[in-house]
């Protein structure tokens, strides 16, 4: 080998060692994908995070993102879709990335645009505190008309009144942006949802009919094709299709002056439909997608998987991982044996998710659909969709992430030591409909969720289940970012349903979730 080539090879080896060492430490600044970067997104690639690496697979092959509208700043504020749907964050946005962006740009990155990247547009934008919900919990402001509007623009008469009890962002009581302004608007704060694996999120073959399974309401249709849609997009299912979603996203997040053209929309949706994301490497367990390994793991498994399959049974499974990691032989080598132990923990965590029963109680749109209240079931009762753990159709439910009395997590922000940082609303349901079966006529909530669209009392605080993939890359969790880590998410369930998991069960469950 010529000397220069040998030097190159050893430099490459040194680099490989360096990246192995830093594999556990995500390099949030270097992994950021800025609008208009014009880089090529390879057909398969991966990005580091604290649990290992997240794999991104583009079934359309490598793409030159130059001129691909998902990656270009097509609006007026310098943002692109990729600003909040980052490949390194499993096509969502982690709070680590948000903070790294703030530090690297001195708060000037278009991510922090006042429209929704601030607690409210009227606040002094140069101050960190004005963006605390984004910086501390990864939340964007979602602003919706009140009372709700149907898709044809007509007013939906709500079954309840909405009062602002606590307004830490100042937005809901603001004379221009608030509920009592000339254009009455309600602001809630939500996490971006992953733009990947969307064939599952939009598949509408199972449990989709002219009336919703959960609430017997007429089901909406795709305005372009007239076909029924499954209503699993956005925390409140307000968007029927990826196309309508992209129009709204362009007009709000990107502040485009008018809707994108049909061609631009087609290219955005085309990109969204070919991108898959899942954890591909785990610091403890090693390669998650190796040949002969657990079938459900890694992005290629998602690309190949079947949609609209109910997985909470042992013929399909929600996350089929098989038996390969159930008992992994030890050979006395410390590295090998540690990996074997990590793999067995993941397999046990799967079983906690899938088989460990607990009493599911007072959860709207689950304990009200003929299954009984309480019911002794598992995580997979709600998270039933094969490969993603979403609900198969119209998946909004209330587990208490935003409604009191369960949503009482401590404030996270150092700027909100005394006053909790989330808005609080008082919902008072009219006398005419039956009261909410579990919460009565007066409900306190941080985010009325689906009820902001339907105006129905029974929908207050119901949130559409997200997909479970790429979790390791996109903390914090739940639509309101209330679980900072997967352990906090598991602790929430333990409290909410009085599960009484052992510490070992919790650890196994966390290890399992972080490989998805
Ligand atoms: C400023 C941040 C931001 C930008 C920019 C942004 N989004 Fe999002 N995106 C969000 C948030 C927040 C949600 C969840 C909103 C909710 O649940 O109400 C979301 C949700 C989505 C979803 C729903 C996924 C699901 O499973 O429900 C899709 C699809 C999506 N965005 C596509 C886009 C597209 C296309 C663009 C560019 C036109 C875009 N986003 C730009 C923040 C952003
Ligand atoms: C009664 C139905 C129900 C049960 C049972 C249930 N979940 Fe959920 N899950 C939900 C709902 C609803 C959401 C969305 C809540 C939100 O975002 O506020 C959710 C969201 C999630 C998410 C996605 C978080 C994110 O931000 O992407 C994970 C992970 C999760 N649940 C794990 C579990 C685990 C583990 C169990 C078992 C201990 C479980 N769930 C049991 C209804 C349920």
Return residue ranges of the chain for CATH 1.10.760.10: 305-513
pLDDT of residue 1: 35
CA angle 347, 350, 355 (to 5 degrees): 125
The yes-or-no verdict on residue 110 having pLDDT over 60 is yes
* pLDDT value at residue 415: 44
pLDDT score at 8: 38
110 is written with which tokens? Answer: 């278009």
Share of the chain above pLDDT 70, in %: 93
- The pLDDT tens digits of the residues spanning 275-323 come to 999 999 999 999 999 999 999 999 999 999 999 999 888 889 999 999 9
Distances (CA, A) of 32 to 86, 88, 391, 425, 436: 7, 7, 31, 36, 44
- CA 81 – ligand 2 centroid, Å: 26
Does residue 18 carry a pLDDT above 60?
A: no
Residue 14 has pLDDT above 80, yes or no: no
pLDDT of residue 265: 98
Q: Residue whose CA is closest, atom 19 of ligand 1?
A: 192
Ligand 1, residues 95, 192, 271: which to mutate, most atoms within 8 A of Cβ? 192
Q: Give the number of the ligand closest to the Cα of residue 231.
A: 1
For atom 42 of ligand 1, which residue has the closest CA? 192
What would the two tokens of residue 430 be?
């009219």
Q: Is 201 in the pocket of ligand 1 (CB under 6 A)?
A: yes
Residue reference for tokens 């270097």: 30
Torsion-angle region of 433 (φ positive above 0: left; ψ -120 to 50: alpha; else: beta): beta
Place of tokens 């997040």: 253
Taking the CA of residue 139 as reference, the ligand 1 atom at the shortest distance is 12
Atom index in ligand 1 nearest the CA of residue 190 equals 12
Q: How far is the CA of 115 from the centre of ligand 1 (A)?
A: 14
- The model's pTM is 0.94
Tell me, what's the pLDDT at 9?
38
Per-residue pLDDT tens for 225-268? 999 999 999 999 999 999 999 999 999 999 999 999 999 999 99
Instruction: Compute the distance from residue 383 Cα to the ligand 1 centre, in Å.
Output: 22
292 C-alpha to center of ligand 1: Å? 35
Cβ(169) to ligand 2 under 6 A? no
- What value does the mean pLDDT take over residues 356-368? 96
Q: Give the whole-angstrom CA distance, residue 512 versus residue 516.
A: 7
Residue 465 Cα, ligand 2 centroid: separation in angstroms? 7
Average pLDDT, the chain: 92
Q: Is the pLDDT of residue 418 over 70?
A: no
Q: Which two tokens stand for residue 341?
A: 């132990």
Q: Taking Cα atoms as reference points, which of 247, 201, 261 lies closest to residue 395?
A: 201
Reported as a pLDDT band with limits 50, 70 and 90, residue 16 is very low
Residue in 419, 365, 369, 422 with CA at minimum distance from that of residue 397: 365
**Mean of the pLDDT values across residues 430-453?**
95
Confidence band for 397, pLDDT divided at 50, 70 and 90: very high
CA 356/CA 38 separation, integer angstroms: 47
Q: What percent of the chain has pLDDT over 90?
A: 84
* Region 305-513: CATH code: 1.10.760.10
Considering only CA atoms, which of 190, 168, 77, 166 is closest in space to residue 123?
168
- Whether the predicted pLDDT of 383 surpasses 60: yes
Instruction: Report how far residue 398's alpha carbon sits from residue 362's, in angstroms, rounded to the nearest whole number.
Output: 9
């Amino acid at each position: 080998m010529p000397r220069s080539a040998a030097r190159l090879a050893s430099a490459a080896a040194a680099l490989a060692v360096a990246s192995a060492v830093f594999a556990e430490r995500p390099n949030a600044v270097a992994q950021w994908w800025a609008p208009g970067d014009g880089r090529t997104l390879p057909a398969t690639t991966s990005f580091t995070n604290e649990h290992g690496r997240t794999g991104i697979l583009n079934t359309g092959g490598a793409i030159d993102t130059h001129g691909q509208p998902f990656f270009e700043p097509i609006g007026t504020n310098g943002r692109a879709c990729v600003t909040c749907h980052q490949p390194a964050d499993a096509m969502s946005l982690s709070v680590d990335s948000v903070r790294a962006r703030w530090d690297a740009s001195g708060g000037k990155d278009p991510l922090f645009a006042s429209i929704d990247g601030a607690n409210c547009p009227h606040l002094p934008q140069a101050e960190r505190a004005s963006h605390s919900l984004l910086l501390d919990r990864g939340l964007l402001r979602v602003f919706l008309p009140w009372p709700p509007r149907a898709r044809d623009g007509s007013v939906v008469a709500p079954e309840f009144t909405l009062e602002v009890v606590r307004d830490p962002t100042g937005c809901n009581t603001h004379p221009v942006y608030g509920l009592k302004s000339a254009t009455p608007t309600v602001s809630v704060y939500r996490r971006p949802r992953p733009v990947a694996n969307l064939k599952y999120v939009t598949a509408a073959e199972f449990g989709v009919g002219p009336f919703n399974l959960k609430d017997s309401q007429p089901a909406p249709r795709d305005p372009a094709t007239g076909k029924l849609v499954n209503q699993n997009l956005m925390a409140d299912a307000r968007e029927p299709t990826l196309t309508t979603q992209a129009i709204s996203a362009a007009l709000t997040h990107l502040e485009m002056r008018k809707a994108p053209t049909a061609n631009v929309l087609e290219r955005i949706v085309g990109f969204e439909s070919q991108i898959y994301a899942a954890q591909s490497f785990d610091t403890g367990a090693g390669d998650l997608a190796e040949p002969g390994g657990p079938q459900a793991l890694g992005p290629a498994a998602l690309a190949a998987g079947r949609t609209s399959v109910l997985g909470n049974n042992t013929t399909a499974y929600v996350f089929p991982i098989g038996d390969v990691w159930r008992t992994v032989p030890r050979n006395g080598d410390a590295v090998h044996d540690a990996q074997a132990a990590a793999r067995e923990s993941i397999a046990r965590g799967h079983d906690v998710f899938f088989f460990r029963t607990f009493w599911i109680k007072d959860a709207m749109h689950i304990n009200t659909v003929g299954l009984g209240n309480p019911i002794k079931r598992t995580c997979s009762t709600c998270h039933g969709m094969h490969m993603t753990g979403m609900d198969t159709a119209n998946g909004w439910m209330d587990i208490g992430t935003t409604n009191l009395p369960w949503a009482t997590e401590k404030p996270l922000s150092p700027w909100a030591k005394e006053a909790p940082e989330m808005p609080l609303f008082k919902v008072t349901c009219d006398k005419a409909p039956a009261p909410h079966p579990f919460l009565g006529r007066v409900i306190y909530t941080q985010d009325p969720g689906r009820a902001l669209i339907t105006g129905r009392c029974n929908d207050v605080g119901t949130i559409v289940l997200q997909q479970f993939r790429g979790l390791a890359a996109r903390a914090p969790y739940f639509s309101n970012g209330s679980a900072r880590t997967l352990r906090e998410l598991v602790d929430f369930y333990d409290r909410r349903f009085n599960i009484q998991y052992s510490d070992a069960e919790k650890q196994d469950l966390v290890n399992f979730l972080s490989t998805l």
